[in-house]
Structure formats: C-alpha cells, structure tokens
Amino acid sequence: MHYNQLVPELNITNLAESLSFYTAILGFEIKYQRTNPDFAFLELNGAQLMLEEIQPDSWLMGELVRPFGRGMNLSIECPDLAAIAANIHASGIALFEELHEAWYATDDGEFGQRQLLVADPDGYLLRLTEEIGKRPLA
C-alpha cells in the first residue's frame, strides 16, 4: 500500500460512529483496521486519513473539547461531490456550508472548485471539493 507523505491522524471518541460517517456517507474505503486501540486507516480518491479512539496514553497536547480540530479544516478532493452532498443531506447531518462554487486567485488566473463544508462526528471540519477548472483573472 502507498502511504502519502502527510497523513492526518484524528483522535476520535467512537470509531464505529466515525467509520459510518466516513465510509457510508463520504465514501472512504477502510484500508486497514485494528483494535486496542481502535484504529482505522482510510482512503478516498488518494486522500488518506487515520482515525484512533482516544486512549489514556494518546498523544494529546491538551484536553480535547468538542468540536475537535478547531482552527483547521481538512480539504479533501472528491470524485463525485454531488453524490456525497446527497448522502449528507439524506443522513440528516447539517452542513457547515452548503455546496457552492468557489474561485481562488493563483499566479496566472483563478482556480475553481465546487465545495461544501461538513463536520465529522467529533467536530473536525472537512472541506470536500471537486475541481471545475481554471479561468483568467476577472
């Protein structure tokens, strides 16, 4: 298995609940899973993520208070964002930001993507994206 140079590992409270969210709703695939501690290595479209239930000896810099991950979001490029958005809506999960088009300035124009923002069960903010192309600066 290929491992990316950077693979975030999220401390979570309930692996079963998180796996349901990441696999059934977002479409991640479990590449590896173990118990004691409960851990899973996930992948979607080349994006990799590790989930581990919080243990007394977890590598924590301080007390975790929900929502976890405050001050950051994980940007994940998805192959079919409309289908993922439909899964999120069908599950009753509230979006932090609805699906919309966004354009970002680059050195030679603008880069466009569809994106939505949703929090996972522990409050980690995910920015799910789908590339829509480039255009000259407006």
Contact 26, 84 (CB under 8 A): yes
- Assign residue 44 the CATH number of its domain: 3.10.180.10
pLDDT at 138 over 80: no
- The answer to the question of residue 125 being in a domain is yes
| Structural domain containing residue 99 | 9-54+72-135
Confidence grade of residue 6 (pLDDT, cut at 50, 70, 90): very high
pLDDT tens digits, one per residue of 100-116: 999 999 999 999 999 99
- The answer to the question of residue 63 being in a domain is no
pLDDT attached to residue 1: 84
The DSSP code sequence of the chain is ----S---EEEES-HHHHHIIIIIIT--EEEEEETTTTEEEEEETTEEEEEEE--TT---SS---SSTTTT-EEEEE-S-HHHHHHHHHHHTPPEEEEEEEEEEEETTEEEEEEEEEEE-TT--EEEEEEEEEEE---
For 86-105, b where at least 16 C-beta lie within 10 A, e where not — what string? eebeeeeeeeeeebeeebee
- The answer to the question of residue 67 being in a domain is no
Calculate what percentage of the chain has a pLDDT beyond 90: 87
- The answer to the question of residue 64 being in a domain is no
- The answer to the question of residue 116 being in a domain is yes
- The answer to the question of residue 59 being in a domain is no
Q: What is the pTM of this model?
A: 0.92
- The answer to the question of residue 1 being in a domain is no
Confidence grade of residue 15 (pLDDT, cut at 50, 70, 90): very high
- The answer to the question of residue 61 being in a domain is no
pLDDT tens digits, one per residue of 50-103: 999 998 888 888 888 999 999 999 999 998 999 999 999 999 999 999 999 999
Q: Quote the number of domains for the chain.
A: 1
Rg (CA), the chain: 16
pLDDT attached to residue 8: 97
Calculate what percentage of the chain has a pLDDT beyond 70: 100
pLDDT attached to residue 75: 97
